[in-house]
Structure formats: structure tokens, C-alpha cells
Amino acid sequence: MSTTTIQDDINQVYATQQSNQFGTQRYELMFEPGTYNVTVPVGFYTEVVGLGQSPTQTVITGGGIYANAAWNGGNATENFWRGVENITIDPSSGSTEWAVSQADPMRRVDIDGNLVLDDDTSGNTTSNWSSGGFISDSIVTGQVNSGTQQQFLMRNDQLGSWTGSNWNMVFVGSTGVPGQSFPSPPDTTVSQTPTVDEKPYLYIDSSGNWDVFVPSNRTSAQGVSWASGNTPGTSLPISDFYIATPSSTVAQINAALASGQDLLFTPGVYQINGTIDVTNPDTVVLGLGLATLVSNSGDTILQTADVNGIRIGGLIFDAGTTNSSVLVQIGPPGSSASHASDPTVLSDVFARIGGATVGSATQTLQINSDNVVGDDLWLWRADHGNSGTVGWTTNTAANGLVVNGADVTMYGLAVEHYQAVQVQWNGNGGADYFYQSEMPYDPPSQSAWMDGSSDGYPSIAVASSVTSFQAYGLGVYCYFDVNPSEVSANALTSPTSSGVQWHDMVTVSLGGTGTIEHIINGTGATVDSGSTVADLTSYS
């Protein structure tokens, strides 16, 4: 294709998607190996990927690849649902802008020059906020400037340097990053990533065949997986995959899965009637272009057996108008098999209750299997959306994440606005690296939002039976704009045990709108209209 044709295609997609926050269009821009002198702005529901086995094989020069918030006056707090993977960004300006919030993964990216994580081009210097973010397995040769980012996670990255902080910056298994210094500045640094599998990705091999590469599990890892050449792992031919389109039925999908095929969702919105059953070990379920699965029947959209090595990545799960008791279930209740050597991994898995459509689900994600790894999850009960899709009695949802399995590990966990405990952690041996959560904005009264006799609900509740749990870098915020007198007694609750350890916690009353009395178990200062930020370095 000519450069002009490529640029025209890019411009047409962006014109549609720049402000299309709750629309139904989905796009994947794929660049075959080579060098392209183009400019690639990334809008909603758009993924930009290179098709080499290594990110160094596909290079974008010219204006590079970027996300700004010009559509929203420079405010990037609603820049959701987009991504960049497996590509080199080498802009002529020497700087890349990635002004994003939740559900905007940047993976396997090689950035030549500097990286700015807020909107520094739209001219807004007073409300150009940004909130959240996730970059993994990437190299930035220059400086990363976090700008207005309230919180961010860098996992297994290699940076020239880092500057900036606000409330909760977390670095796991990365180099060139700040040392541990929470809360001043609020940097939490863990030198190695205990266990992780990088996300599977499409590529074109040296013979011109399409394949999906499935990276191997890494333990005690630091830096990128491709530092010494190709990422270790396994290539699967595209013929191994059932390629789904929005017209595919659940019966067709399940028949393919039962026969041993993997599953690739092409970009689109899928109305799901019934439940997708992933029963075979090491099955890959991969979405392109933020493929979105909507529950039409109140059933669980996707459930897995208690088997090794299932890989689920790049999907949005939307609740439907009929309440689902569980929207996504990993392992059946009572699962107990060990998967330590070959864990199930959820990469860029996002869920919504309301927003695009009216939705309801009691539990959004229930994890029953052991050794599951979550890598960039945003579970969101919508606080805004299309007309009529949000409200205290409209998009109802009690819990975002319920962990029943043992030895479950999370990186980049964001769970927001649920109406009861947002994360209920019942399994032993769990760990969470980075947590972001806003309490629900909209409790109409204190009596409507009570955890028994306690004011409000904690964002994370670790069960009293848990004897082993670790958490690093947690931010819990409130903004009770419907009833500013609303109070939550604790942001977090857990048993008091030497085996249950919390590291680097922050609470914020956004704009002083509402009160969180304590950070954890009655410990930690109050945040309210008088004092809006509180920190606690450790609790056990």
C-alpha cells in the first residue's frame, strides 16, 4: 500500500473514533514488518499493532503513534479502550504522547526518545488530568514524564529515566525507574515480577504465514522478554483458531473449542446468548480491536474449566439488561488443582456494568482456579455513559472481583464504582501489584450504602480466613457527588496477621467530596473536605 493510502485509512478511522466513547465500531490497525512514515493518532476501540515476531521489525516514523485528549479539552480521564502492541515508535519530534487512563495497554513497544503520559499538546495546563495506565514489556530510550497521571503501573519495562509522581506510581520488574520512596514521592518499586506470561499476539512469520505467538511463563523476571532476541514461547498457526465474527453463534464457538481449537475474536460487538465454555488446557482466547462480548440472556458470558494454561486477552465483557449472577468465571466453584507451572493468564481483560448499554451483574469476575494471573484488568460499574445506562438502580452490581482460588496474582488491577465490596479476596497466597479504585459516586443516602453496621463498604476486603496475602501500591478514592455527606469507614479491611501484608496505600477525597475515615481496619488518617490525601506505608 502507498503511504498516502495508509495515512488516509488511519485518518478515516480516527475521525470516527476520536470521541466515540460508547459507540459500536471496533478497529485493528495492523502494520506488516517494515518502516512507515505516517502519523497514527489512536482513538477509542482502536488497537495499533506490528506484525513482526519482534517489535523491532515494524517501525513507525513521521508523527509516530500517539493518544491525546483534544476531543475532551485536554482532559484524558475518559481516554479509555485503546492499545498499542509489538511495534517501534520513532517520531521525528523525539517525543511520544500517550495521554490515557484505564484500559489503554501499551505492550511490547520500543519507543525511541521520550514518552509523556498526559496531554501536553492541547494547550490545557490546568485541567489536563489523566488517571491510570499500564505499560509492560516495553523499552523507552529516553525519559518518561508522568505529568498529571494520578497513578500508573510499569511492569517489566526498560526506561532511560522517569520523572513525575502524584499519588501512586508502581514499578515492578523494571529498570531505569525510581527507587522505593513511598510516600514522598509516592513511588513503589518491586525489583522482580514473581510470575507472569506476556500476552499472546498475532504475527507473520518468515514464510509469510499468519501465526499467534504464545509467550512462555517468566518467574522472578526483570526487564523485557525480547531483550536477547525473540521472546521465548510457542507459535500456533492461524489454522488452529476458530475465527469468530459478530455473526458467530455460541454453539459454533463452543463446538470449535470442544474440538480443540483456539479462539480469535475479530473486531466487533458480539451479542452472546448462552455461555462460552473453555474446557481444554492451554486454549488461547484472543480479541482484536477491543472485541466486545455482551450478555444477552443473563448467563455468564465466558467460563473455564479448572485446567492449565488458558490465555484470555484483549476483550471487553459487557453486562446485559438481564442480571448475570457472574459475568466471567475462571474455574468452577470448588476448583483446587495446582497450575503453578502453567497458569491461566488474563491479559487486558475489561468489563463494564452500564455505560454503553444498561447492564446488571452481581459479580463481574469470579476466579475459582488456583495460580491465575491477572495482567491489566479494569472492571467498571459505569459512572457515566449513553443516556439512561447509569444510575444507582439502573446498572446494579455488587462486586467487581471475587477471588476464591489460591495463589492468585494481579498486576494493574482497577475496580471501580461497585455497590458493595469491590474486591472480595477469599483465597490464600494471593498478591496484588498496583490497585486503583474509586468508590461508587452515587449512593443516595448513608442508609443505602452500609456494610452491616459499618458506614459504607471497603474497596478490598480480605476474608478473615486468609493467612497469606501481599499487596503493593494501592489507591482508593471517593467522590460522593450525589450525597457529599456519605462516609466510608475503611478503604481496605483484612485480618491482622504477619502473613497478610499491605505496602504503600493512599486514600483521596476527590475535591473533598465525601469522607473515607480510615485507610485500613481503623488505621490511617481521614480524608474529607478538610484534608484530601492520606498515606500509609505498611500494615499487617
Neighbouring C-beta atoms of residue 437, cutoff 10 Å: 24
* Cβ-contact 355, 389 below 8 angstroms: yes
Residue 517 designated active-site? no
Residue 239 per-residue DSSP state: G
* Cβ-contact 83, 45 below 8 angstroms: no
Classify each residue of 273-297 as buried b or exposed e, where b means 16 or more C-beta atoms within 10 Å of its C-beta.
ebbbbbebeebbbbbbbbbbbbbbb
Looking from the CA of 512 toward its CB, the CA atoms found within 13 Å total 3
47, 97, 416, 438: the catalytic one is 438
Could you tell me whether strands 39-41 and 311-318 are parallel, antiparallel, or unpaired per DSSP bridges? unpaired
177: cell is: 525507574
DSSP 185-215: S-EEEESSEEEEEPPPEEEE-TTS-EEEEEE
Classify each residue of 473-485 as buried b or exposed e, where b means 16 or more C-beta atoms within 10 Å of its C-beta.
bbbbbbbbebbbe
Query: Which secondary structure element, helix H or strand E, spans residue 48, and what is its range?
Result: strand 46-50
Closest CA to 40 of 69, 16, 61, 25: 61
Could you tell me whether strands 210-215 and 233-237 are parallel, antiparallel, or unpaired per DSSP bridges? antiparallel
Would you please indicate which residues are annotated as catalytic (active-site) residues? 438
